[in-house]
């Protein structure tokens, strides 16, 4: 049984294994069919892709065959012409162009082709698409060319040659890259030798130099793009401004700013000017009055009412008015002084306000007063009193009790007497007379003159008044003045407290201040009684005011003439009070009075009389104080006869010291009665800058020129335009140019149009006016005409033209010296091979003509002597001379000097020269200041055969003669006071007679022959493969490189000019 079951299990296992095998075979068959189907589908898709790729390749090949590019290089003008023509059946896009040069640089044109053009001296002359009978200028890539159209590029490439050009194209289905073919006219045969010889017009002596320069060319441009930036475009096009033909580009003005001052019933103001207020003291100023002075150069008085009553000032928002005060307005002489109260000027910061004008309906506002603009500092007046207390109420309102300064102005009785303030408040003070203890009393009524001032340093009537306090008793206290006076000021002191005192004849009566040892920065003060007894501490007020003028005069006094030294100043407060201050010293004669020897107006009294320099219109308040203590006897001042023209003064000793008194200095302040206004003094008051006029209505038209030649020496701009305006009121317009480097508009011209006919305006800009290279980029110049007026107007632009003077034809210049002390320059035009010369400069003084070419200004500079430098102006074809003083050393003129110029630092000339002590330096000449400075000492002495060239900001120097050392120096580092000379590989031959830069090499010609070059990439010298067959001998750097050729003016008193082909 068991055996049967085992057999049955074995059969079952065999059956199950067979079934599994069958299932595996079926699965394998299914997988095989799936793979076969996938391969079939994949092969189909691959064939589709291959067919599409083949179609694209066929189209790409067709485009490559149909779009052709040819280029031609005009070597004489360094101009490349590239034509790319679409001969394909469909439009093709040119997406990019790359030009490769022989100096390993390249130019890549894509997007805006005028932007970021490299190298920097490459410029686009023209870029346009030419079709059947028409052309259009373009300025960016990609550009679609219809069948038959040609993309034409004309490019100035500078001192290099193109070697290959590639460009990329695209259509709706393919992209292709291809190369342009060079077109080589079969008109010239390459020279069989690497040199040729031409002749200079006259023999060239030793030490003569040669350099590379340029001749000028002139091109006029009237093909511009004009568009409206401000205002409303009416009519006209780019063609309208090309010719003076009554076809106008017309713009209507628009309201410039919604934040413009306008008042109900008065209307809007016509004009405004922004004024920038700059804080310079380092202190935030609050409610500060700023003086603004107008004249014919910064304000048109015809646009304001005759009395200036339509003037207004606002904050930066243009509508919030601020207080102002017109101190003076003279429309005939065109002068005005106005004070504007600025709410806040941040420390070391600035704020902008606006000044509005031109509103015939406006009158002076009620707030335009002294009181609303200036600070009430104090007041002056008189009071009549005796020993009884008098109360004086202030006219002004004060936030703290002002300080009081007083003097008795009458002499109704001879008893010694002083005044004392008993109480001070914000609204009043009390005062009385006090005789000393030894006097008999009572005292007659006297007139007391008083001045009340707030503490602080103030500007009153254009003078600084320092007002302060000090605490002192009967011993001297030193007061250190806060303001920096130039000389000893007039100093007035007065007791402002009543901590000790008493009525007349009491033991404490009669205290006053006494001063001593005044200087420009300090003085001493104490409380003085009848005799030198102790006194409690009191608050003493002081005033210090500077004087400005001095005179020594012989004046009449009540009894006789006397000499007096007078140090004085005068002025008028902003609200019209006249004042005078003075320090006086009556020399040779005493000026005391005898207390007990009446009558006091005759001998032996010593009253002195002071004659005012100011013509007072009301009797002034005079406060007088003795300034010194030359004699220790206690004393005080007395006055009398105070009037419009003079007053009498004297020194009166106290009863304890009655008798003669030695010479003392006196001082006083005299001011007309009334309120005193001024403003807080700050160390360096704010400055202001008045901006350009803004009319309520304005227009702005921008004009863009392209394709201008570079480098530019001058722009001549002509504008013809007119405006519809009100008769008699001129319209101001400004011309701006865009500064590509600083990215700002710079005003270059301003004018006023009066009409009614069109006017032409022509102005020229040179490098002396602007850094011209900053205003042209890749041949593009942007001009903007900005017009403003007080009423709506219409602008008509008739004609716009720019004539550019630029450097074009390359020349070799050779200064020739003559025995009669004159020099002229021979000029060799490389393109034409023709020699010309400049006029002779007869004032040449140097023994050797050291020169260089200024590519920025179009000048050939020549060292004339150590105190002057001459130049030949290529633009105007004339000689000029400039002063050339040395600052920190002086050079001497010797053989081996080199004068260098680089566009990297166009404001300087650089000079290798020896100083008076025999040391050699690199110097620089600041063209703006006409001064020479030493820049860097050269450790190796230079000889007659010394030569140098400058490449960018690197000077390469061979000291010359028998030495073979070779150096370079970085000017940028030298100007920072850093860097040093770096020694390079020694030159292969001494006694250099030619040294030039070109094709990233430094070319060296040695005495007796030997032509070598220094590879600036490898910093290594190599001999040139073909040597010259002549032997130059005399010193002087006379070799020039230009476009694969070396031009060597041999010298040696020969006429030979060797032109050596060295390739690129």
What is the rounded distance in angstroms from the CA atom of residue 327 to the CA atom of residue 336? 8
What is the rounded distance in angstroms from the CA atom of residue 323 to the CA atom of residue 291? 12
What is the rounded distance in angstroms from the CA atom of residue 180 to the CA atom of residue 805? 33
In the predicted model, is pLDDT for residue 18 greater than 70? no
What is the rounded distance in angstroms from the CA atom of residue 711 to the CA atom of residue 708? 9
Taking alpha carbons only, the member of 547, 675, 561 closest to residue 613 is: 547
pLDDT in tens, 650-692: 888 888 887 778 889 999 999 999 999 999 999 999 999 999 8
In the predicted model, is pLDDT for residue 809 greater than 90? no
Band (pLDDT 50/70/90 cuts) for residue 22 is low
Band (pLDDT 50/70/90 cuts) for residue 916 is confident
C-alpha 103 chain-centroid distance: 38
pLDDT of residue 324: 98
Band (pLDDT 50/70/90 cuts) for residue 602 is very low
In the predicted model, is pLDDT for residue 54 greater than 60? no
pLDDT in tens, 286-324: 999 999 999 999 999 999 999 999 999 999 999 999 999
In the predicted model, is pLDDT for residue 25 greater than 80? no
Mean pLDDT of the 244-251 span:
93
**Range with the poorest average pLDDT among 120-129, 165-174, 569-578, 808-817:** 165-174
Taking alpha carbons only, the member of 745, 755, 704 closest to residue 725 is: 755
pLDDT of residue 594: 54
pLDDT of residue 221: 85
Band (pLDDT 50/70/90 cuts) for residue 467 is very high
More confident residue, 1004 or 110: 1004
Helical segments of 328-376, H only: 370-373
Are 693 and 273 in contact by the 8 Å Cβ rule? The answer is yes
In the predicted model, is pLDDT for residue 192 greater than 60? no
Half-sphere exposure of 576 (CA within 13 A, CB side): 8
Beta bridge partners of 450: 381, 406
What is the rounded distance in angstroms from the CA atom of residue 551 to the CA atom of residue 568? 9
Band (pLDDT 50/70/90 cuts) for residue 842 is confident
What is the rounded distance in angstroms from the CA atom of residue 311 to the CA atom of residue 356? 6
More confident residue, 989 or 819: 989
- Buried b / exposed e over 246-259, threshold 16 CB at 10 Å, is eebbbbbbeebeee
pLDDT of residue 520: 97
pLDDT of residue 803: 87
Taking alpha carbons only, the member of 137, 148, 71 closest to residue 107 is: 71
Band (pLDDT 50/70/90 cuts) for residue 6 is very low
What is the rounded distance in angstroms from the CA atom of residue 773 to the CA atom of residue 1023? 38
pLDDT of residue 589: 59
pLDDT in tens, 319-337: 999 999 999 999 999 999 9
Are 911 and 959 in contact by the 8 Å Cβ rule? The answer is no
Q: Report percent pLDDT > 70 for the chain.
A: 90
In the predicted model, is pLDDT for residue 23 greater than 80? no
pLDDT in tens, 1012-1024: 999 999 999 999 9
* Angle 269-273-276 from CA coordinates, rounded to 5°: 140
pLDDT of residue 1036: 87
What is the rounded distance in angstroms from the CA atom of residue 1019 to the CA atom of residue 967? 12
What the block records as the tokens of 883 is 């002063």
Secondary structure string (H, E, C) spanning 985-1023: CCCCCCCEEEEEEECCEEEEEECCCCEEEEECCCCEEEE
* β-strand pairing of 982-983 with 578-587: unpaired
Taking alpha carbons only, the member of 666, 663, 586, 662 closest to residue 625 is: 666
Average pLDDT, the chain: 87
Half-sphere exposure of 813 (CA within 13 A, CB side): 27
**Collapsed DSSP state (helix, strand, coil) of residue 611:** strand
Mean pLDDT of the 69-92 span:
82
What the block records as the tokens of 363 is 């009158």
Band (pLDDT 50/70/90 cuts) for residue 20 is low
Beta-carbon neighbour count of residue 7 at 10 Å?
10
In the predicted model, is pLDDT for residue 578 greater than 90? yes
In the predicted model, is pLDDT for residue 614 greater than 90? yes
**Range with the poorest average pLDDT among 24-38, 150-164, 697-711:** 24-38
Helical segments of 221-373, H only: 370-373
In the predicted model, is pLDDT for residue 534 greater than 80? yes
Half-sphere exposure of 212 (CA within 13 A, CB side): 21
pLDDT of residue 600: 45
Mean pLDDT of the 608-631 span:
95
Band (pLDDT 50/70/90 cuts) for residue 593 is low
Beta strand extents in 576-633 (DSSP E only): 578-587, 592-593, 608-611, 621-626
Are 962 and 991 in contact by the 8 Å Cβ rule? The answer is yes
What is the rounded distance in angstroms from the CA atom of residue 198 to the CA atom of residue 635? 102
Taking alpha carbons only, the member of 945, 939, 951 closest to residue 964 is: 945
**Which residues, including other chains, have CB under 8 Å from residue 869's CB and lie 6 or more apart?**
861, 862, 863, 881, 882, 884, 909, 925
* β-strand pairing of 477-480 with 522-528: antiparallel
If 0-12 CB within 10 Å is exposed, 13-18 middle and 19+ buried, where does residue 1064 land? middle
**Collapsed DSSP state (helix, strand, coil) of residue 251:** strand
Per mean pLDDT, which of 153-162, 343-352, 883-892 is the most reliable? Answer: 343-352
Are 98 and 165 in contact by the 8 Å Cβ rule? The answer is yes
Q: Report percent pLDDT > 90 for the chain.
A: 53
pLDDT of residue 187: 47
pLDDT of residue 1048: 93
Are 1012 and 989 in contact by the 8 Å Cβ rule? The answer is yes
Instruction: Please give the DSSP secondary-structure letter assigned to residue 617.
Output: S
CA distances from 890 to 869, 919, 923, 977 (A): 14, 11, 10, 19
In the predicted model, is pLDDT for residue 270 greater than 70? yes
């Amino acid at each position: 049984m068991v055996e049967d079951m085992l057999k049955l299990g074995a059969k079952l296992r065999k059956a199950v294994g067979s079934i599994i095998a069958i299932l595996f075979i079926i699965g394998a068959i299914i997988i095989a069919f799936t793979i076969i189907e996938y391969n079939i589908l994949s092969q189909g898709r691959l064939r589709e892709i291959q067919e599409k790729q083949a179609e694209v390749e066929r189209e790409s090949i067709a485009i490559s065959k149909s779009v052709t590019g040819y280029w031609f290089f005009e070597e004489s003008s360094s101009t490349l012409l590239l034509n790319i023509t679409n001969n394909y059946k469909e439009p093709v896009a040119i997406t990019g162009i790359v030009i490769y040069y022989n100096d390993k640089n390249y130019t890549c044109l894509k997007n805006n082709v005028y932007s970021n053009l490299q190298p920097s001296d490459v410029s686009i002359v023209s870029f346009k698409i030419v079709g059947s009978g028409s052309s259009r200028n373009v300025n960016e890539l990609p550009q679609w060319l219809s069948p038959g159209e040609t993309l034409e590029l004309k490019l100035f490439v500078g001192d290099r040659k193109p070697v290959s050009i590639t460009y990329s194209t695209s259509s709706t289905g393919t992209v292709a890259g291809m190369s342009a073919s060079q077109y080589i006219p079969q008109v010239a045969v390459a020279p069989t030798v690497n040199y040729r010889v031409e002749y200079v017009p006259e023999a060239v002596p030793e030490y003569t130099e040669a350099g590379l320069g340029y001749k000028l060319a002139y091109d006029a441009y009237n093909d511009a793009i004009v568009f409206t930036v401000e205002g409303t475009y009416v009519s006209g096009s780019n063609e309208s401004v090309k010719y003076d033909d009554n076809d106008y580009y017309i713009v209507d003005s628009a309201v410039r700013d919604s934040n413009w001052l306008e008042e109900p019933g008065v209307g809007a103001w016509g004009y405004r000017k922004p004024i920038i207020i700059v804080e310079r003291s380092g202190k935030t100023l609050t409610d500060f009055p700023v003086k603004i002075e107008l004249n014919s150069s910064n304000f048109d008085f015809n646009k304001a009412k005759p009395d200036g009553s339509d003037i207004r000032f606002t904050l930066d928002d243009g509508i919030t008015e601020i207080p102002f005060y017109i101190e003076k307005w003279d429309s005939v002489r065109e002068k005005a002084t106005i004070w504007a109260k600025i709410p806040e000027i941040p420390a070391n910061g600035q704020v902008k306000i606006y000044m509005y004008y031109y509103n015939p309906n406006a009158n002076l506002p009620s707030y335009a007063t002294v009181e609303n603009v200036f600070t009430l500092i104090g007041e002056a007046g008189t009071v009549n009193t005796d020993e009884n207390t008098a109360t004086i109420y202030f006219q002004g309102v004060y936030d703290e009790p002002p300080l009081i300064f007083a003097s008795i102005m009458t002499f109704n009785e001879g008893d010694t007497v002083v005044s004392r303030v008993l109480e001070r408040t914000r609204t009043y003070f009390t005062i009385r007379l006090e005789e000393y203890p030894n006097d008999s009393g009572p005292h007659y009524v006297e007139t007391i003159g008083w001045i009340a001032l707030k503490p602080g340093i103030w500007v009153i009537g254009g003078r600084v008044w320092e007002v302060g306090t000090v605490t002192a008793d009967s011993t001297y206290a030193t007061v250190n003045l806060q303001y920096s006076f130039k000389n000893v000021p007039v100093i007035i002191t007065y007791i402002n407290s009543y901590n000790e005192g008493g009525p007349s004849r009491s033991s404490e009566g009669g205290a006053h201040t006494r001063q001593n040892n005044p200087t420009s920065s300090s003085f001493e003060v104490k409380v003085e009684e009848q005799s030198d007894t102790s006194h409690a501490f009191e608050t003493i007020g002081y005033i210090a005011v500077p004087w400005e003028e001095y005179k020594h005069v012989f004046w009449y006094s009540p009894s006789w003439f006397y000499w007096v030294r007078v140090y004085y100043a005068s002025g008028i407060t902003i609200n019209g009070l006249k004042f005078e201050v003075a320090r006086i010293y009556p020399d040779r004669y005493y000026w005391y009075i005898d207390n007990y020897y009446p009558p006091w107006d005759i001998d032996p009294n010593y009253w002195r009389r002071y004659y005012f320099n100011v013509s007072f219109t009301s009797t002034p308040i005079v406060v007088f104080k003795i300034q010194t203590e030359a004699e220790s006897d206690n004393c005080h001042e007395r006055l009398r006869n105070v009037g419009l023209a003079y007053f009498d003064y004297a020194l009166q000793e106290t009863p304890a010291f009655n008798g003669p008194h030695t010479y003392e200095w006196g001082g006083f302040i005299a001011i007309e009665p009334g309120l005193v206004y001024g403003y807080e003094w700050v160390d360096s008051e704010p400055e202001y800058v008045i901006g350009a006029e803004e009319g309520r209505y304005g227009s702005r038209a921008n004009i863009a020129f392209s394709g201008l030649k570079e480098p530019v020496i001058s722009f001549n701009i002509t504008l013809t335009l007119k405006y519809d305006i009100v008769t008699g009121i001129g319209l101001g317009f400004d011309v701006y140019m865009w500064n590509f480097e600083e990215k700002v508009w710079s005003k270059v011209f301003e004018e006023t149009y009066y009409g009614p006919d069109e006017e032409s305006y022509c102005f020229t800009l040179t490098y002396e006016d602007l850094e011209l290279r900053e205003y042209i980029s890749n041949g593009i110049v942007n001009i903007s005409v900005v017009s403003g007026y007080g009423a709506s107007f219409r602008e008509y632009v008739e004609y716009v033209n720019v004539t550019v003077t630029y450097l074009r034809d390359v020349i070799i210049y050779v200064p020739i010296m003559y025995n009669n002390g004159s020099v002229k320059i021979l000029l060799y035009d490389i393109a034409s091979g023709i020699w010309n010369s400049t006029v002779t400069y007869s004032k040449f003084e140097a023994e050797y003509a050291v020169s260089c070419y200024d590519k920025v200004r179009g000048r050939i500079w020549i060292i004339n002597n150590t105190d002057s430098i001459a130049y030949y102006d290529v633009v105007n074809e004339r000689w000029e001379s400039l002063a050339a003083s040395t600052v920190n050393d002086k050079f001497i003129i010797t053989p081996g000097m080199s004068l260098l110029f680089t566009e990297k630092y166009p404001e300087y000339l650089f000079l290798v020269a020896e100083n008076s002590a025999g040391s050699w330096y690199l110097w620089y000449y600041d063209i703006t200041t006409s001064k020479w400075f030493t820049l860097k000492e050269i450790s190796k002495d230079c000889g007659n055969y010394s030569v140098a060239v400058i490449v960018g900001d690197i000077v390469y120097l061979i000291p010359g003669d028998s030495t073979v050392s070779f150096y370079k120096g970085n000017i940028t580092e030298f100007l920072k006071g850093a860097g040093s000379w770096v020694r390079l590989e020694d030159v292969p031959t001494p006694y250099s007679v030619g040294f030039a830069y070109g094709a990233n090499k430094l070319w060296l010609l040695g005495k007796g022959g030997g032509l070598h070059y220094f590879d600036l990439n490898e910093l290594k010298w190599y001999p040139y493969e073909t040597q010259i067959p002549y032997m130059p001998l005399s010193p002087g750097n006379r070799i020039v490189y230009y476009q694969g050729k070396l031009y060597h003016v041999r010298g040696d008193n020969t006429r030979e000019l060797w032109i050596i082909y060295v390739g690129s």
